[in-house]
C-alpha cells in the first residue's frame, strides 16, 4: 500500500519537500558559498518542475500517447526510478561532490536542469505542442539554470574538465531514459496486439 501511494504521489511529496528546502535556503545562505548554495537550490527548483510535469501522471500518459503510439513505453515504476534516483539522488550526490570534492562537480546538477529544459523546449518545437513540464522548464529552469551556470563557472578552481564531466553525466542520464523507452517500445511492438 505504501509503494502504491508513493508511485501515485511522489511528485506532490517532492513539491512540498521542495518548498521546505527553499524555505530553509536563507538559513544556509550565510554558511554556504554562493556557488554551493546555487547547487543546493537545483533540487527544490527541480521538485517544483516535477509537479507540473507529473501531476495526474501527465508526462507518462503524454509519452505513451505521443511517442509510444498508445503502447506503455513508460511505466509508473520507471517514472519513479527516473525522478527519485535520476534527479533527487543525482542532485544530492552532486551537492556532496561540490561540497567535499570539487565545487565544479556541482555543475552536474545545473546541467541536469538545463539539459532537461532543452529537451522540453526542443520537444515542444519539434512537435509544435505543449509537453508536461514545458512552462517551468522555460520560466524556471532556463533563467535559474543559466544564472547558476555562470556563477558556479566563475568560482575558483572550476575547470573545463568539470564542465565536460557534468555535461556528459547529464546527457548520459537523459540518453539512458530515451534508450530505455525505445527498447521497451521495440519489445512491445514485437509482442501481440494485446500490448496496446
pTM across the whole model? 0.94
Q: Residue 101: CA atoms inside 13 Å, Cβ hemisphere, count? A: 12
Q: Per-residue pLDDT tens, the chain, 196 aa: give them.
A: 677 899 899 999 999 999 999 999 999 999 999 999 999 999 999 999 999 999 999 999 999 999 999 999 999 999 999 999 999 999 999 999 999 999 999 999 999 999 999 999 999 999 999 999 999 999 999 999 999 999 999 999 999 999 999 999 999 999 999 999 999 999 998 885 655 5
Which has the closest alpha carbon to 185: 174, 196, 176?
A: 196
Amino acid at each position: 500500500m505504501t509503494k502504491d501511494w508513493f508511485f501515485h504521489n511522489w511528485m506532490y511529496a517532492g513539491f512540498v519537500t521542495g518548498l521546505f528546502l527553499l524555505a530553509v535556503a536563507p538559513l544556509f545562505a550565510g554558511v554556504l558559498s554562493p556557488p554551493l548554495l546555487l547547487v543546493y537550490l537545483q533540487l527544490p527548483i527541480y521538485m517544483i518542475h516535477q509537479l507540473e510535469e507529473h501531476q495526474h501522471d501527465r508526462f507518462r500518459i503524454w509519452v505513451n500517447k505521443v511517442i509510444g503510439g498508445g503502447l506503455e513505453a513508460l511505466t509508473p515504476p520507471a517514472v519513479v526510478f527516473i525522478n527519485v534516483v535520476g534527479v533527487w539522488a543525482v542532485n544530492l550526490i552532486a551537492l556532496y561532490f561540490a561540497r567535499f570534492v570539487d565545487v565544479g562537480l556541482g555543475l552536474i546538477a545545473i546541467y541536469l536542469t538545463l539539459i532537461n529544459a532543452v529537451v522540453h523546449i526542443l520537444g515542444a518545437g519539434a512537435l509544435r505542442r505543449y509537453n508536461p513540464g514545458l512552462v517551468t522548464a522555460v520560466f524556471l529552469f532556463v533563467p535559474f539554470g543559466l544564472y547558476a551556470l555562470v556563477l558556479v563557472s566563475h568560482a575558483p578552481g572550476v575547470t573545463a574538465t568539470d564542465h565536460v564531466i557534468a555535461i556528459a553525466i547529464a546527457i548520459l542520464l537523459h540518453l539512458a531514459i530515451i534508450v530505455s523507452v525505445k527498447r521497451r517500445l521495440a519489445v512491445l511492438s514485437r509482442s501481440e496486439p494485446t500490448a496496446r
